[in-house]
Amino acid sequence: MRQQLRKLQLPEKLRWNHNEWYRRWLLRQLPSGVDSALDVGCGLGDLARSLKAGEVTAIDANARMIERASAGSDRVNWIHGDVLTHDLGRYDVVTAEASLHHLPLREGLARLAELTKPGGTLVVIGLYLTATRSDHAMEFVTLPANAVVGLLKAINGTGGKPHDPEMPMVMTAPTLPEIRAAAAEIVPGARVRRHLFWRYSMVWHAPEVH
């Protein structure tokens, strides 16, 4: 059995949402003026509501998440379904925020690529398993930085909200070498970067069809 993503947890009051930390970065990677966008594993829909596109679709396998997300906006086409099997189109923008590790890595990534139109953009912010020497070395920076940000957020009243209690949690994830290998095979040319706070990003521009 794989180890959990993190062994150390801050006190509840110092915990905070790492996905929100990277959401602005994710949105900056997206082109403007696109016709269609899909958010995969949308959860409560915060990212989906932030996507700028003529038509925004969001899908999640958890019925409760879709029920709550759809109550907050009717601009998004909310779908309760399995992204691997649900009948979906192709989109100018596909996003996956902390959701790819809920799927089998290669099958999930291949599906995200399939849903991206030629010339479109796929952006993933994902979790990776701390496994390599460089991962463990990164912890010497990540752990104190995580505590500092948690303390600052607690002081200004925005801490203590690491995730919604109804949000499904998966405590395992692929390693960065596994993610890089899958990306090289399935979405060649994708840019995969390690980020602070146990996240990686993947940005892929689907080739144009000539």
Q: 79 Cβ partners below 8 Å, 6+ apart?
A: 57, 58, 59, 60, 66, 86, 88
Separation CA 142–CA 31 (nearest Å): 30
- Tokens representing 21 are 């930390």
Give yes or no for residue 84 having a pLDDT over 90: yes
Pairing of strands 199-205, 191-195: antiparallel
Separation CA 86–CA 89 (nearest Å): 10
pLDDT in tens, 90-99: 999 999 999 9
Residue 63: left (phi > 0), alpha (psi -120 to 50), or beta? Answer: alpha
pLDDT tier, 74 (very low <50, low <70, confident <90, very high otherwise) = confident
pLDDT tier, 159 (very low <50, low <70, confident <90, very high otherwise) = low
Q: What SS3 string covers 104-151? A: CHHHHHHHHHHHEEEEEEEEEEEECECCCHHHHHHHHHHHHHHHHHHH
For residues 75 and 56, the answer to whether their CB atoms sit within 8 Å is yes
For residues 176 and 132, the answer to whether their CB atoms sit within 8 Å is yes
CA angle 57, 59, 64 (to 5 degrees): 125
pLDDT in tens, 26-70: 999 999 999 999 999 999 999 999 999 999 999 999 999 999 999
Query: Exposed, middle or buried by CB within 10 Å (0-12, 13-18, 19+), for 39?
Result: buried
Query: What is the overall mean pLDDT for the chain?
Result: 88
Q: What is the mean pLDDT of residues 130-149?
A: 85
What are φ and ψ of residue 35, in 5° steps?
A: -80, -35
